[in-house]
């Protein structure tokens, strides 16, 4: 398997699509017709329909020298599922569009779809179609996800109210610090190909970069607790940037506390090793795909026992601005770059 290389031209476009679709069967009632016709057919069963797309371009969003294709397939689905989760919706279907340069063999496409399949199984979504073309500029991936949600549960960026509690899932900054390690090891390897990358010590943060997870579990748990957040967004560009989106679209200010930001120990230690302030990584790192949301004080009580949801601050009136109380007892303005004296290099 490993040494075999089949040219895509040997199978042809239709052969390749058949090969891809063989491995996927639909599990959702809302999928009436999947791959194989001119278009798929969905049935929304009375729900609202959520649609979101993300593109991933080689050289812009990923580096194939340290990104296994299987992980890339998984990530391409996960980042879209994360956007559906951020609307408090359940993902049901995806389409996958690929631009392939002749560098890619059938076996490479197989690897990519292994990751897509793992994500489809994990998030219970159906692959219902896509498009396949040749590309002159490396690998191009575009995924569209479709989700469904009751009208009264849709969670936008715009609903945060004064005194609501700001919540964040999981931990922050890990994917960014993981990327710094991968890039460092790549430089070492290019300078001396006999040096094998030393990644054991960094397993968690590297995994967070290469194989992020969408927080669907939290969406289901919120539903079980009968909580509809007042606003929500997923953290793809960094906490600070997403907080400012909630602020602007809700017309409110945000107050957060540096000592409440959830940072994993491996992230913290590695950031220090690299000379990066861990708080900066948490605020500006990006690609964590955690959920940032606001809930009323009553709903906060119901979330107190949840080990993986952290209360980092509260919503305030817009004239008070977006402020972080630092560990040192100062107040600094939250900007998309964190704050002025911690600008990214
Ligand atoms: P058309 O010529 O009508 O665009 P295609 O031959 O491109 O049709 O596609 C045939 C079927 O295969 C369609 O259902 C399409 O959605 C699906 N398909 C094409 N490419 C992919 C892909 N990369 N992944 C999943 N499904 C695909
Ligand atoms: Mg087509």
Domains in the chain: boundaries: 8-150, 165-333
Specify the ligand 1 atom closest to the Cα of 113.
Answer: 24
Contact 295, 310 (CB under 8 A): no
CB-facing half-sphere around the CA of 127: CA atoms within 13 A: 28
Q: Could you read off the pLDDT of 122-165 as tens digits, one per residue?
A: 999 999 999 999 999 899 999 999 999 999 999 999 999 999 99
For the chain, what's the residue count?
345
54 is in an annotated binding site: yes
Q: Which atom of ligand 1 is nearest to the CA of 127?
A: 25
Is residue 280 pLDDT above 70, yes or no? Answer: yes
Pocket test for ligand 1, best of 130, 135, 143, 146 (most atoms within 8 A of CB): 130
pLDDT at 338 over 80: no
Residue 12 to residue 293: CA distance in whole angstroms: 46
- Cβ-contact 127, 116 below 8 angstroms: yes
Q: Ligand 1, atom 2: nearest CA belongs to which residue?
A: 38
Ligand 1 atom closest to the CA of 95, numbered from 1: 25
pLDDT higher than threshold 60 for residue 343: no
User: pTM for the full model?
Assistant: 0.92
Per-residue pLDDT band at 342 (split at 50, 70, 90): very low
Q: Report whether 94 contacts 126 (CB < 8 A).
A: yes
pLDDT > 70 fraction of the chain, expressed in percent and rounded: 97
Euclidean distance between CA atoms 20 and 35, whole angstroms: 10
- Rounded CA-CA distance 100/116 in Å is 16
CATH code of the domain made up of 165-333: 3.90.650.10
Which residue out of 33, 35, 98, 100 has the highest number of ligand 1 atoms within 8 Å of its CB and is therefore the one to mutate? Answer: 35
Topology at the third CATH level for domain 8-150:
60s Ribosomal Protein L30; Chain: A; (3.30.1330)
Confidence of residue 226 (pLDDT cuts 50, 70, 90): very high
CA of 126 to the centre of ligand 1 (A): 14
């Amino acid at each position: 398997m490993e040494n075999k290389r089949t040219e895509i031209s040997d199978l042809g476009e239709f052969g390749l699509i058949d090969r891809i679709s063989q491995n996927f069967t639909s599990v959702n009632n809302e999928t009436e017709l999947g791959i194989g016709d001119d278009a798929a057919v969905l049935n929304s069963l009375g729900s609202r329909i959520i649609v979101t797309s993300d593109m991933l371009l080689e050289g812009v969003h990923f580096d194939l020298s340290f990104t296994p294709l299987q992980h890339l397939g998984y990530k391409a689905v996960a980042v879209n599922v994360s956007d559906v989760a951020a609307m408090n919706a359940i993902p049901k279907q995806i389409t996958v569009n690929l631009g392939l340069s002749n560098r890619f063999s059938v076996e490479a496409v197989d690897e990519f779809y292994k990751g897509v399949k793992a994500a489809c199984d994990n998030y219970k979504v159906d692959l219902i179609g896509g498009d396949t073309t040749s590309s002159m500029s490396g690998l191009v991936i575009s995924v569209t996800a479709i989700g469904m949600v009751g009208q009264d549960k849709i969670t936008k960026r715009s609903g945060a109210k004064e005194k609501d509690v700001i919540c964040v899932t999981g931990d922050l900054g890990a994917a960014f610090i993981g990327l710094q390690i991968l890039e460092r090891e790549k430089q070492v390897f290019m300078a001396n190909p006999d040096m094998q990358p030393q990644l054991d010590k960094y397993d968690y943060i590297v995994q967070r970069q290469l194989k992020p997870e969408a927080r669907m579990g939290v969406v289901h748990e919120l539903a079980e607790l009968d909580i509809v957040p007042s606003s929500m967004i997923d953290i793809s560009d960094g906490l600070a940037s997403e907080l400012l989106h909630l602020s602007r679209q809700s017309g409110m200010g945000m107050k957060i506390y540096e000592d409440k930001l959830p940072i994993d120990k491996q992230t913290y230690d590695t950031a220090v090793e690299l000379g990066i302030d861990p708080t900066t990584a948490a605020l500006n790192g990006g690609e964590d795909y955690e959920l940032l949301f606001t809930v009323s004080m009553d709903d906060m009580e119901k979330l107190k026992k949840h080990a993986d949801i952290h209360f980092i601050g509260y919503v305030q009136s817009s004239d008070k601005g977006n402020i972080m109380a630092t560990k040192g007892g100062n107040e600094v303005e939250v900007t998309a770059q964190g704050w002025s004296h911690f600008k990214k290099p």
